[in-house]
Structure 1
Amino acid sequence: MEQENIDYYRELQKHLDKMPVGYPTTESGLEIKILKHLFTPEQAQIALKLNFIADPLKKIYRRLKKSGFSSEELEKKLDEMYFKGLINRGVVKEGETETKYYGSAPFVIGMFEYQLNQLTPEFFKDAHQYTRETFFNEEYNSSGVPQLRVIPLEQTVNYEQSIANYDDLIQLIEIVGEPIAVMECICRKGNDLIGEPCTKTKLRESCFSFRAGAKSFIEKGLAREISKEEALEILKKAEEDGLVLQPGNSQRPMNICTCCGCCCGVLTSQKQLPELSHFFATNFYAEVDPDLCIGCGICEDRCNLDAITIEDDIAQVDKGRCIGCGVCVPTCTSEAMKLIKKEEETLPPKNTYSTYVKIMDKKAELARAEKTQT
C-alpha cells in the first residue's frame, strides 16, 4: 500500500508540473514529502483528475466514476479539499441554479498560501527549502514571465512622468475590484514560527487579495474584508517600513504582496542571484544625484536586495540588482535619490488568466527551441 501511495504522489507531482506554474522534482525528494503533508492518498487520486482551468462537477465526476463515489460524495470530497487549501473552486450562479467548478491549484501562489491557518514550523521549513532548492531556479524564473511584478511606492511617483494605472498604487486600488481582503503574510508568520522574526516590520496583516480571490480567502477563514481606505492605510504603513509592493503580474491583479528581503520567498531566493533585476517585471530604476548625496547610508540600509552601496561617501545603485521599488527614495533627506522610468515600458498582461496563458506559451516556445537545438 505504501508503494501504491508513493506512486500516486509521484503521479500528482508530474501532473502539477504540467501546470503553467509547475511543481518540479528535487534531488532530496522534498516535493513528495510536501505532497504527503498536504494530501491523503485518496485526495491525491482525485487531484489527478483536475485541470488548471476549472471544470464543472459533472465533468469531473465522469472522470472519477470508476472510483465508486456518488456525485454527492465527490462534491463533498472536493469541497473538503478546497477548504483544506489543496485546490481551487469557483461558483457560478445563473438565476436559481448554482454550478461549482473545481481546478488544480499551483504550489505558489496557491497551496502554500492556503496553509496560513494550519502552518507548522516543519512544513514552513520544507516549503522554504523546496523553493530555494528547486522552485525559483527551475520554475519561477524559467519562462521569463514572473507571477508578480514590482510597482513603486506611492510617494515616490513623479507625476510629471506618464504613469500607467497599473504602476500607480492609488489608481490600482481603485480598479482592482471588490471585495478587498487582507490576510497575514505567510512568509513573516512562518519566520515567526521558526524563531526568525522579520527585521523590517511588525506588520503581519499585510497581504491583499481582490474579487474572486478575496471571496475565496474570506470564506476559508484566512482573510477579512476591508475597505479601500483601510487597504491604503495598511499599504502606507508598509511603505513607511520599507516593504516592496508586489502585485500579481497583470493590469488588474488578484493580489498585492508587501515584501521584505528577510522573509519573502521571492525576494530571499532572487537575492542570491547576481543580476537579479532581469527576473523582475518593473518599469523603474533608482538613480542617485552625486552632487546632492551626503552618503548617510539610509538608502543602503532600507534596500531589500543589496542594490545600494556607499562608496567615497556617495550612494551607488547597482542596476543589475535594482528592481525599481522606490523604498530608497522617501527617506533620502537630501533628495538625491529618484526613481526613473525605463525608456522601454513592460506592459503587464491584461488579467491573471492572461498571465498564466503567457507563462504557458513562453514555456512551450522555449521547449520547442530547446528541441530544435538538440
Structure 2
Amino acid sequence: MTTVSEAAMTDEEIYRAFQEYLDKFGFGYCAVEGGHEMAMLKEFYTPQEALWCMDMPRNEFFDAQWFADKEGMALAEAEDVLHDMAVRGNIYRERTADGTMLYHMEPAAHGIYEFHAGDAMNADWIPGLYGTMAGGMLQQVYDAGIPFYRCVPADKSLVREGDLEADDDLFEMLKKHRRFCISPCACIQSSREIMGIENCEHERNVCVQTDEMADYYLDDLKLGREATLEEVGALLKENVRKGLAMQTTYAKKNEIICSCKVCHCGILQAAKMFPGDAMNNISRYEIAFDPEKCIHDGGCATRCTMGAITIGEDGVPVTGASCIGCGQCVIVCTPGARILVHKDPEGLEDLPEVVWDAYTIMEDNRRARGMIA
C-alpha cells in the first residue's frame, strides 16, 4: 500500500529512489551520466512494484504474511503479488522443508540481470545496463572486500597435495546436490546476441544452478533445463577441456556454477580492469612456479583464462595480479613446472553458508568503509 509521501512522488522519483535503494545492496547499482541505469528497472518493475520492493527486508527472507501485514493487504492478495513478481524474476523465492514459501529481495547484477536471461533479454534494456556497468558498477564489484563469485580449481589434480579445501573440490561437491539446472550464460547471451560483440565462440548454455536455485530457475523462471548429476559433471569437464575457468558463488552452498573466460565474462573483465580489495578472495589458490622445469614454450600464456601470463624477454612466463587460480595453465604446462598452492589463510575471508550471506557481508564492508550511508 502506497504511503502519503510516496503518493506524492512521480514515477521518475520512484525509480530513482529504487536505484538508490539497490545501490546499497552488496556491490550496488550506481547511477551514471545519462541515467542508463534506469533502463533495466523500468523494463521489469512498475512504480508500485518498486515501492513494494523498497518495503521488503534488506537482507533476510520473509513470508507472504509478513508482506501482507506490511502493506495492509489480505494474505491472498499478498501471495498473488509475490508469486507474480517471483515468476517474472523480480524477487527470489524458495520453499522450505516444511513447505513455507519464503521471498528475498535481490541485488541488481546477479539477481535482476541474470534472472532475466533467456527470452526476457532484449535491446530495450541491455544496452543501458552495459552503460551502467561500464560507468562504474563493475568497479564496485571488487571494492566490497569479497567477490560474489569465486574461482575454484578446474580439477583437484592441479593442486598441491594436501592444499585443496573440501569446499573447493567442485566435482566432489556436485554429489551433495539434489537438483540441477543448466541455463544460458547471461554474459554470453547479452554481449553476443543483443550487443553484437563477437568476443568468442563459446557455447552459451554453460551455467549450472543447484538445489533451491535450480528449483527457482526451473519451476518459477522456466529458464534452462533440468539435468542429472552425470550431465552436469560431463558439461563442466568439457568446459574445463575447452579452457574455461570454474566459478561458483562465494558460499559453501555453490548455488550457481559458471564456466568463464575473460573474453565473455563480465565479472572476470571487471576483475582484470578494476582489481579492488576483493580480488584476493576471488580464489583461495595461487600459482607456484619452478623455472628449472619450464621449457619456455608459452603454452601457459596461451591457455590463461585471464590473459594474466606474459612471457618475458628471457622466455620465462610471468604471472600477473589478475590470476584467478583456475589452474588452466597447469593443465598444459610441463609436469612440475606449475602447480596451484593454497594462499596464506590469514589473508582470506571465511566462506559464508549461502550467497545471500555474502551479499550482506559485501554491504557491511562497503558501509564500514564509508562507501554507502
TM-score interval (norm. to shorter)? 0.7 to 0.9
User: Match for 1:4 among 5, 10, 14?
Assistant: 10
Partner of 1:362: 365
Counterpart CA distance in 2 for 1:44 and 1:59 is 17
Output one character per residue of 1:99-146: Cα deviation in whole Å (capped at 9) or x when no partner: 4333311112111011112111342232223222221223x2232111
Counterpart CA distance in 2 for 1:206 and 1:102 is 27
Amino acid at match of 1:64: E
- 1:59 and 2:79 are equivalent in the alignment: no
5+ residue gaps, structure 1, are none
8 Å contact 1:275–1:320 — kept in the other structure?
no
Partner of 1:24: 30
- Give the structure-1-normalised TM-score: 0.87
Counterpart CA distance in 1 for 2:20 and 2:150 is 27
Question: How far does residue 332 in structure 1 lie from its aligned partner after superposition?
Answer: 2.1
Counterpart CA distance in 2 for 1:297 and 1:3 is 60
Higher mean alpha-carbon deviation, 265-274 vs 311-320, is at 311-320
Counterpart CA distance in 2 for 1:231 and 1:77 is 34
- 1:78 and 2:85 are equivalent in the alignment: no
**SS of equivalent to 1:252:** coil
Higher mean alpha-carbon deviation, 25-34 vs 181-190, is at 25-34
- 1:330 and 2:305 are equivalent in the alignment: no
Counterpart CA distance in 2 for 1:37 and 1:235 is 33
Question: How far does residue 304 in structure 1 lie from its aligned partner after superposition?
Answer: 2.6
Counterpart CA distance in 2 for 1:315 and 1:235 is 31
Partner of 2:132: 130
Higher mean alpha-carbon deviation, 235-244 vs 333-342, is at 333-342
User: Match for 1:120 among 119, 122, 128?
Assistant: 122
- 1:182 and 2:182 are equivalent in the alignment: yes
User: Given the superposition, is the C-alpha separation of residues 348 and 319 from structure 1 closer, same or farther in structure 2, using an over 3 Å criterion?
Assistant: farther
8 Å contact 1:288–1:315 — kept in the other structure?
no
8 Å contact 1:294–1:334 — kept in the other structure?
no
8 Å contact 2:251–2:354 — kept in the other structure?
yes
Counterpart CA distance in 2 for 1:75 and 1:365 is 36
Partner of 1:284: 285
8 Å contact 2:146–2:362 — kept in the other structure?
yes
Partner of 2:263: 262
Output one character per residue of 1:339-363: Cα deviation in whole Å (capped at 9) or x when no partner: 2322336332233343233323323
8 Å contact 2:145–2:278 — kept in the other structure?
no
Question: How far does residue 302 in structure 1 lie from its aligned partner after superposition?
Answer: 2.0
Question: How far does residue 87 in structure 1 lie from its aligned partner after superposition?
Answer: 0.8
Question: Residues 158-197 of structure 1: matches in 2 within 5 Å?
Answer: 158=159, 160-175=161-176, 177-193=177-193, 194-197=195-198
Question: How far does residue 189 in structure 1 lie from its aligned partner after superposition?
Answer: 1.4
Aligned-pair identity (%)? 25
8 Å contact 2:249–2:257 — kept in the other structure?
yes
Partner of 1:339: 340
8 Å contact 1:148–1:281 — kept in the other structure?
yes
Alignment coverage as a number of residue pairs: 361
Partner of 1:41: 47
**SS of equivalent to 2:345:** coil
User: Given the superposition, is the C-alpha separation of residues 296 and 174 from structure 1 closer, same or farther in structure 2, using an over 3 Å criterion?
Assistant: same
**SS of equivalent to 1:30:** coil
**SS of equivalent to 2:149:** coil
Counterpart CA distance in 1 for 2:281 and 2:164 is 18
